[in-house]
Structure 1
Amino acid sequence: MPITAALGGTPLREAIRLALLSPAGLLGRLSRLSTLALLSLSVVGAWALALTVASQTGRTAVEAGFERAGAEALATEQFARKTIVISGMLRNQAQRWLTYSQPGDAGRRADVETTIRAILDNAELGIAQFGIVDAKGDVLWHSAGGHAGFSVGERDHFRRHRDGQVGPIFGRPSPGRDRLLPVSWRLADADGGFVGAAIALLRPADIAPLLANIVERDGSLSALVRLEGELLAGSHRAAPLIGQPVLGDPMREVLMRDGIFRREGPVVQGGPDRLTVGRLVPGTNLVAIGAVDASQTLQTARLLEGTAYLAAIGFTGLVILCAVLVLVAERARHAATEVAVLAAGQAELRRLHARLPAVIFLRDVAADGSSRLTYRAGDIGGVTGWTDGALDDVEDWTYLYDEHAPPRQEMVSRVLRDGSAKHHWRLRQPDGSWRHVVMRMERLSRRPDGGGEIVGYLRDASAEHSALESAAAAREELDATLALAPVVVFRARAWTCAACTWRHGRGCYREDYISGSLEQVTGWSEQALSSAGGLAAVLSPFDTVLEGIEAMKREGGWSADLTLRRPDGTTLTIRMTTRVVARPDDSALDFVGYLVDVTAEREAKARAITSARLASLGEVSGGLAHELKQPLLAIGLAVSNTQQAAEKGDLAAVRARLGRISGYVARAASVVDHLRRYARGADEDAPMVPVPVSTALDGALAVLGGTLRDAGVTLRVEIGDPVPAVLGQLVPLEQVLVNLIGNARDALASRQAGSPRLVTVTAEQEGDAVLITIADNAGGIPERVMARLFQPFVTTKGEDAGTGLGLSLCQGLVHHMGGTIAASNEGGGAVFRIRLPAAPSPA
């Protein structure tokens, strides 16, 4: 609210100014009627001023209370964000722990457990325990041990993870003395399937002193509350309220819509009135609460309000008395009486202003910027810290200001020119320390000579400055924590505009924040990356990045593996995961994300695929020998016959036998070519091309044909006409067919001798997809295995007959080509259905 409005408007302002500056000269020249009119106007002005001061003081006190509560809520949110980041780091460690599931991985699991306990040992993080549960909710590992057989399967936060929510999710406090607070994350396998949850347990008693450091005064409290309503943890004043509902439906609706609420009233039913601010922590069900005691905040305002009304009543009584004296007294006494009345009014105003939490002043400014103080009142000691009265009669306080305060002449000249100004600096205290203060000034009037009057106030800003410093310290601590993490966390904005032509008009992009771990993970310093154009400039393929931005617009998040170019020209394979946090308008996205180096993971996956492919080659080596032996025997016989024909001089017979030899050589070369191509594998980055299903099947049979015949398996092929073609890669499709047909052959080996052994392969186009089916009559897949069929190391063969990787790799190869694979038991056998994108028809 403008200062001039707070003083009651222009007419009252002028009356006050005349009463303060020259009451005797004015009243001495007024007639009796004009004197009575002025006194009446002064009464109205006094009541208007009293009402204005009372109203403005109450609103100012409430707003100041909400500002303190908001600062404490913001600091509490920063603490919560730090806890969430640490729990996320623990989640990543849990994800690693789950991947080390082989007998030889015990050492790796122990390293992960050591890392987790090292994080838990940091008391400043507030995390007491940590556990990992499987997809049923049973505890797999717990930092405190002794939890075998314990399950969280029926807990609300676990069910929400099972339904697809990633987290973090803050659950209800557990029963018991410690009332442990769970913070859980969803754990997923490489395909996004649910495999369990990571649960960090916070002890409210440990969190209480950390939150107590946030509150500013004894009557204040800070707390963490679930969006569902229960109070989870808080400073010492909030500790008895843990588990009680503190959020009603109206506040939840405001939080979900605006992300913040303000409320005046008790935090819980029957509690003291508080000014409360709640902030919803983005991406969670957690609300950070800051609250201050309303009675303490409004005590001074109520006292000042009563004082204002009493002053108005007293002033009114004095004016009435003056009016009576004016009517009955002699003209010679009028001036003295009225001067006394106005002097009393001025004293009342000074006494009223002395109770305000500010120092109010008026200055008369000359055209050259020089000025003089014409009025000053307020709580000088409370605002400045000089409580000994040393500044009460000193006009110039500039010698106490720090170097950030501009010269007074410059300040007042700017106010006359611009209409208002606000400055923030420090004021030296009697003990040599510093206090932060804010000065606000407004132009009151302007004279033709270029001078004028200004009004302003000076107030103590120490509280809000301390809150801002606490928030900045929390941010620095969070940055330091992220700098040690093996991931790069960032916040960015992508938008489109007519003026921006970044990357050939494809949109605008900038990073607003990037964690200090950038150079450790990628080799890029923040400055070098900015000069290179940001993350988008060093990631490829760029079209995939653009597709990711479109995916975020549609779905709110995105994840993909990309290639990152390092400063030295080498590359890394990284996994980028993003989530939209705000949409400033229809053309812009604010999103957060993280990068993880998955180069080693990709290399291990490639080695596993090669191992499985070579293992399958070993399984069919006998068939390959048969396929090669038959043409070689025929070649040997043909060579012998050719020699005999040559000795007889029969050139026609020689030419005929040489032709047959050439055909046998071509057949053997074809088998060797398929073997070499199959063993070499495919390039993951190779483009998708049209592949006729018959070509892939011929390649698979070149490897498997001999073993099928030796096993007495009949292969029935039913391919439509024209032959359907998929949009994919030849070698991966051949490997999928080799694995599935080979599995069917092995399953049929258990049938009794003389029983029919049949494998049927069909392919047909269905709309924009091609369906390939491989079926056998070997009795089907056991139900106990069906649910885990495509997981690594799952096999129905003996320990010495299979690696358990074949179907898992088949699923990965099919997914890489944009397709799906599924299995079922039908008609006395197993049926595998592969659905791949159909190749476009030739133009």
Structure 2
Amino acid sequence: MRVIDEAVPFRRVLAAALLALTVMAGATAEYLGARAIAARAAETMALANAAVVAPAREVQRLLDTVRWVQDLLRLRADLRAAGDVAAAVRLEEELRRANQSNLMGIARIAVATEAGHIAWASFPEVCEEMGGASYFQALRHGGSGQVIAGPVPGPCSGQLVIIFARSLRHADGSFAGVAMVSIPALTLSGLLGQPEGKVAVNLYRLSDGRLLARSKEPEEVLQRGLLMAPAHLESARRDPAALPRGPNSIDGRDTFFARRVVAEGGLLVSANLDAESELQPACLLRWLFRAIAGFVVLTYMAGAGVLLVMVSRARVASAQRELERLIAGLPAVVYHGAIAGDGTYTRLYLSRNTMLAIGCTPAEVAAPSDWFARIHPGDHDTARALRRRLLETGNATADYRFARSDGRHAWLRDSARLVVQNPDGSGEIIGTVIDVTEERDLAAQAVMAGKLASLGELATVIGHELNQPLTAMRLLADGIGISLKTGAIERTGPMLTELVGQVARAAEIAGELRRFGRKDGDEVMPVPLSEVVRGVMVLAEAPLRAAQVAVEIDVPADLPRALGRRTPIEQVLLNLVVNACHALEEMPSDRRRLSIQASATATDIVLEVSDTGPGIPPDLLARVFDPFFTTKQEGSGTGLGLSICRTILGGLGGRIEASSDPGGSCFIVTLRRAPEGGSAYNQWAGTQRHPPLSLAQ
């Protein structure tokens, strides 16, 4: 409606504003959150860079001490080579005392000969061969500078130690042995920082990325022989400040890195901070920004919703007034109600156009009981059955007579649909009521016209059929008169008997014509189909005989009665028989057969009319019941016969179906089976499944 449609632009404006606000609030929240996370990440990196300075300095001091000790060991070797054994021994004692005083945590100082034998050690009670060690072989075969080995189990304590080895040379530059300084891995780990701090400091060998020491949990971690990730190792060799964030090699967690290379010793010091823990406050702040943005959007939505509800209520009120104005001009009454599981109806709404649509003021039908009181007593069961069918099928239609304010009765068509179905069997319905009095009158006129059309088609042959008994009666009357004049009274008996038979035959034909042509009533009743078939055959016998059609009838005498009205059923059957007769005229005389069969089911009576004619083309079969459609030649049919048949059967609660093939056609008529005892009409109305059809339908 126009009033409702005017609300659409307003809703679109609110929706567009909501979308813009949502995008703006979301973008602002994400921007502020990203800024907070970036600031926190910068603070974390600054903390890591500050935390790596002291461990790198301690490692450098350790390397300086190791270099000093190795220089003394080189001096010792030079003294012994020069023959100053006493000076060499004093130097050895000084080195032993320095080792025992725990100089920088050194565990052992030793010198190996060129053959790998221990020439001197600060703890001489342990003498192992060093010739097979990889670092010894590397120095022996030309390696120079500091070589760092380990972690390996120490010969004295069995604990993991880091070995700092440097080659010794003779005066001519040839290999003279190796000076070795061993430091426990745990001692080296202690130099990196306090284990309870949140910064984890790792010491790696730059040549292969091997983890040598760790400030946190060194006992557990160092046993695993971990290596730095190749990408991180390669990056650290090129630029220690590169890749400041990524998964660490210990547990794979996201980590901030700050690295320093101790160039002389080939060591890398890395200070690590867990990114998730450090960024958690900033992430919470980002979620807070998001929550604030969501709150702003929800606040706007609430305000817009309230405004929209207020505007919508005003528009709905206006729309309702407009709708009432439009409904007031409709030729139909609109209603809405609730229906209980037992069929009890409660009205919720009734349009105010009752006087225009059905001829009663709103006050006269204010309550459902007022409406029901105006329904014709003979149609009360039909009205009640409408509610029951609604609960069973979801929609229903019924026609009933209704008393208008002016005292006249009108036929109303009540059509309703179940729009809400509750678990307890109740529901809500909407429906319309229209005056179909004129429509039913037109349908009745069409049915009567169909009767007359059928009689018109049979007029010639029926006239010939009536002429035969009349001619016979005239001849018999003449014969009886001559017999009486001549005194041959004994010959008048057989002639009188034959005369009475011919009179009965003519009376039967005339009676069927008179009954078939009169106007039909409204009440339904049990109808014996055997009598219907007999009456139709009286009217159709002459044209069937003229067309040389062989008729087979199989209608049991004890067949249960059908529920309906005799004359309309006869009209349907006569139309089907005449159509079959016309179709069979196109076939050879020996193939003209018509079959009429009837049977019963628990609820229906089925009548089949089949022929051996040429059949109906498949593309036309679906249209045979359409008004004004015919397969006959132009001018030989109106195309209303089968349409009227369907209308008649629909009004009786029945139906008609058609099937066809090149061997002939078959029409199946299904009627409701009459109940045993009681009011036939009322019982049919309570179980009617098919809504009445109109001429327009």
TM-score when normalising by structure 1: 0.44
**Structure-2 residue corresponding to 1:489:** 334
CA shift in 2, pair 1:631/1:510, >3 Å: same
- Indicate if the aligned counterparts of 1:772 and 1:834 stay in contact, CA closer than 8 A: yes
User: Taking structure 1 as reference, are residues 565 and 210 closer, same or farther at Cα in structure 2, changes over 3 Å only?
Assistant: same
State the match for 2:524 in structure 1: 687
Query: CA, structure 1 residues 745+236, in 2 after alignment: closer, same or farther (shift >3 Å)?
Result: same
Q: How far apart are 1:639 and its partner, in Å?
A: 0.4
Contact 1:510 1:534 in 2 (8 A): no
The one-character-per-residue Cα deviations of 1:632-691 (angstroms, maximum 9, x if unpaired) are 1110111011111221344443344333322211211110110111112422x2222131
Residue pair 1:690, 1:725 contacting (<8 A) in 2 also: yes
- What is the CA–CA distance in structure 1 between the aligned matches of 2:621 and 2:21, rounded to whole Å? 53
Q: Does 1:564 align with 2:399?
A: no
Deviation per CA, 1:15-60, whole angstroms, max 9, x where unpaired? xxxxxxxxxxxxxxxxxxxxxxxxxxxxxxxxxxxxxxxxxxxxxx
2:642 alignment partner in structure 1: 807
Identify the residue that residue 631 of structure 1 maps to in structure 2. 469
1:472 and 2:314 are equivalent in the alignment: no
Structure 1 residue 836: deviation in Å?
2.6
Cα contact 1:623–1:705 (8 A) shared by 2: no
CA offset digits 1:476-498 (Å, max 9, x no partner): 222122112222112223448xx
> 1:252-284: CA deviations, max 9, x gaps?
xxxxxxxxxxxxx969985879xxxxxxxxxxx
1:29-68 alignment runs, 5 A limit = none
* 2:573 counterpart of 1:737: yes
**Given the alignment, which residue of 779, 785, 797 partners 2:632?**
797
Q: How far apart in 1 are the matches of 2:383 and 2:600? A: 32
**What are the Cα deviations for residues 209-267 of structure 1, in whole angstroms up to 9, with x where unaligned?**
5434xxxxxxxx52xxxxxxxxxxxx3454x79xxxxxxxxxxxxxxxxxxxxxxx969
Q: Percent same amino acid at aligned positions? A: 29
2:606 alignment partner, one of 771, 774, 784: 771
Alignment of 1:219-298 (within 5 A): 222=11, 235-238=12-15, 270=23, 295=296, 298=299
How many Å separate the matches in 1 of 2:663 and 2:445? 36
Which string of whole-angstrom CA distances, capped at 9 and with x for unpartnered residues, describes residues 792-815 of structure 1? 111110121111111111222233
SS of the aligned residue for 2:366 comes to helix
Note if contact 1:681-1:732 (Cα within 8 Å) is conserved in structure 2.
no
Deviation at 1:532, TM superposition (A): 8.6
For residues 21 and 297 of structure 2, what CA distance do their matches in structure 1 show? 18
Q: What SS does the corresponding residue of 2:551 show, helix, strand or coil?
A: strand
Aligned to 2:616: 781
Q: Distance in 2 between matches of 1:632 and 1:272?
A: 104
Deviation of residue 296 (structure 1)? 7.8
Counterpart selection for 2:515 from 652, 658, 677: 677
Q: Distance in 2 between matches of 1:268 and 1:638?
A: 109
Whole-angstrom distance in 2 between the partners of 1:716 and 1:507? 47
* Distance in 1 separating the partners of 2:674 and 2:302: 78
**Shift, 1:510, TM fit:** 4.1
Residues 495-510 of structure 1 aligned to structure 2 (within 5 Å): 495=340, 509-510=345-346
Deviations 1:60-112 (A, max 9, x none): xxxxxxxxxxxxxxxxxxxxxxx3xxxxxxxxxxxxxxxxxxxxxxxxxxxxx
Tell me, which stretches of 5 or more residues in structure 2 are unaligned? Answer: 27-293, 679-697
Relative to 1, partners in 2 of residues 1:756 and 1:585: Cα closer, same or farther, differing over 3 Å? closer
Change beyond 3 A, Cα 1:266–1:553 = farther
Residue type of the alignment partner of 2:467: K
Amino acid at match of 1:608: A
Equivalenced residue count is 407
Instruction: Give yes or no for the alignment of 1:211 onto 2:8.
Output: yes
> In the alignment, which of 498, 511, 536 is matched to residue 347 of structure 2?
511
Match of 1:819 in 2: 654
Answer yes or no: is the 8 Å Cα contact 1:822–1:834 preserved in 2. Answer: yes
1:485-540 Cα shifts (integer Å, max 9, x gaps): 222112223448xxxxxxxxx87544332222221111212122227944333234
Within 5 Å, give how 1:291-440 maps onto structure 2: 295=296, 298=299
Contact 1:511 1:534 in 2 (8 A): no
Q: Which has the larger radius of gyration?
A: 2
Q: Which runs of 5+ in 1 are unaligned?
A: 1-82, 84-123, 127-206, 213-220, 223-234, 242-264, 274-292, 303-460, 497-505
Q: Distance in 1 between matches of 2:563 and 2:533?
A: 15
Q: Deviations along 1:604-623, whole A, 9 cap, x unmatched? A: 21121111111111101112
Root mean square deviation of aligned Cα: 3.5
**The 10-residue stretch of structure 1 (795-804 or 707-716) with the greater mean CA deviation from structure 2:** 707-716
SS at match of 1:539: coil
CA contact (8 A) 2:586 2:614 kept: no
Q: Distance in 1 between matches of 2:464 and 2:504?
A: 16
Q: Which has the higher contact order (CA 8 A, sep 6+)?
A: 2
Kept in 2, the 8 Å contact 1:573–1:597? The answer is yes
**CA, structure 1 residues 677+271, in 2 after alignment: closer, same or farther (shift >3 Å)?**
farther
Aligned equivalents of 1:528, 1:719: Cα separation in 2: 51
- With over 3 angstroms needed to count, the CA separation of the structure-2 counterparts of 1:463 and 1:789, relative to structure 1, is closer
Check the 8 A contact 2:360/2:405 in 1, yes or no: yes
Closer, same or farther in 2 for the Cα pair 1:507/1:785, shift >3 Å? closer
Q: Secondary structure at the match of 2:443?
A: helix
Distance, in Å, in 2 between the alignment partners of 1:267 and 1:662 is 102
Q: Is the 8 A contact 2:340 2:426 kept in 1?
A: yes
Q: Check whether the contact 2:391–2:426 (CA below 8 A) recurs between aligned residues.
A: no
Q: Is the 8 A contact 1:772 1:833 kept in 2?
A: yes
**Preserved contact between residue 616 and residue 660 of structure 2 (Cα < 8 Å):** yes
Amino acid corresponding to residue 598 of structure 2 in structure 1: A
Per the TM alignment, residue 820 of structure 1 is displaced from its structure 2 partner at its CA by 2.9
Q: Secondary structure at the match of 2:647?
A: helix
Give the 3 Å change call, closer, same or farther, for CA 574–748 of structure 1 in structure 2. Answer: same
Q: Are the equivalent residues in 1 in contact too, given 2:526–2:561 (CA < 8 A)?
A: no
Task: Tell me, yes or no, if the aligned pair for 1:266 and 1:272 is still in contact at 8 Å.
Answer: no
Aligned ranges 1:753-764 → 2 under 5 Å? 754-764=589-599
2:296 aligned partner, one-letter code:
S
TM-score by length of 2: 0.53
Matched with 1:594 is: 432
Amino acid at match of 1:790: F
Cα deviation for residue 749 of structure 1 reads 1.6
Aligned-partner Cα distance in 1 for 2:345–2:477: 72
Residues 592 and 666 of structure 1: CA distance in aligned 2, closer, same or farther (over 3 Å):
same
Query: Aligned to 1:535, which of 371, 390, 394?
Result: 371
SS of equivalent to 1:516: coil
- C-alpha spacing 1:669/1:301, structure 2 compared with 1 (3 Å): closer
Which residue type is aligned with residue 475 of structure 1? Q
Q: Secondary structure at the match of 1:637?
A: helix
Rate the CA distance shift 1:620–1:771 in 2: closer, same or farther, 3 A: same
Q: Does 2:443 correspond to 1:605?
A: yes
Indicate if the aligned counterparts of 2:615 and 2:664 stay in contact, CA closer than 8 A.
Answer: yes
| Contact 1:622–1:707 under 8 Å retained in 2 | no
1:697 aligns with 2:494: no
Q: Give the aligned residue type for 1:737.
A: L
The residue type paired with residue 568 of structure 2 is P
Report the more deviating stretch, 621-630 or 508-517: 508-517
Is 1:717 paired with 2:553?
Answer: yes
Between the aligned partners of 1:828 and 1:271, the Cα distance in structure 2 is 77
Is the contact made by 2:654 and 2:672 (CA closer than 8 Å) also made in structure 1?
yes
